[in-house]
Amino acid sequence: MNNPAKFGEGTVTLLRVFDAPRELVWKAWTDPKMMAQWFGPRGFTNPVCELDVRVGGSLRIVMRGPDGQDYPMKGKFREVVAPERLVFTNIATDNDGNHLLEGETTVTFTEKDGKTKLTVTSHAVGLAPIAPQMLAGMEAGWTQSIDKLEGLLGDSRKMATTT
């Protein structure tokens, strides 16, 4: 069996407490319209965000950078325990579908006193020469995504209380 070359690997674990109910935080991770609003680093948009949130279901996201370049990723949901836990593979590809990084992300949602503790652990293995650069930015990318999620949840709570 021929093993592909590895170009590094990395793991990021982030913990954040949101002043939002768990059901809303869960929805932000499982509703493609909501996820498209926050996923990815600052300045990135998501012109494609497709989620089939069930075990074996797929996800496909195309992040677009501020420079207009697209960064596709895909994966499969391995565990879906609403509204407590999501586990999915994450595969960053180039525009031709070649795998650049392969990994797995686990997200847990714990509610206490109307707030939600979110824990995200993402592990990735580099499969292409560009991978070390991508791995070096993994923590910043996830942190900025979670910052954007926090802003969206704050806006969602404001909208819910004013309507």
The per-residue pLDDT for range 17-76, each reduced to its tens digit, is 999 999 999 999 999 999 999 999 999 999 999 999 999 999 999 999 999 999 999 999
Which segments of 6-122 does DSSP mark as H helices, in order? 22-30, 32-38
Pick the CATH number of 9-158 from 3.40.30.10, 3.30.420.10, 3.30.530.20, 3.40.50.1360: 3.30.530.20
* Inter-CA distances, 139 with 88, 114, 121, Å: 18, 27, 10
- Binned at pLDDT 50, 70 and 90, residue 155 comes out as confident
Q: What DSSP designation does 43 have?
A: T
Cβ atoms 96, 103 nearer than 8 A: no
Query: Is the pLDDT reported for residue 89 higher than 90?
Result: yes
Cβ atoms 146, 120 nearer than 8 A: yes
Query: Is the pLDDT reported for residue 134 higher than 70?
Result: yes
Cβ atoms 45, 64 nearer than 8 A: yes
Contacts 24+ apart (CB under 8 A), 38-47: 38/145, 38/148, 38/149, 38/151, 38/152, 39/63, 39/145, 39/148, 40/71, 40/141, 40/144, 40/145, 40/148, 41/137, 41/140, 41/141, 41/144, 41/145, 42/144, 42/147, 42/148, 44/71
pLDDT digits (tens, 9 = 90+) for 69-83: 999 999 999 999 999
pTM: 0.91
Residue 63 pairs with which residues in a beta bridge? Answer: 71
Which segments of 39-137 does DSSP mark as H helices, in order? 131-136
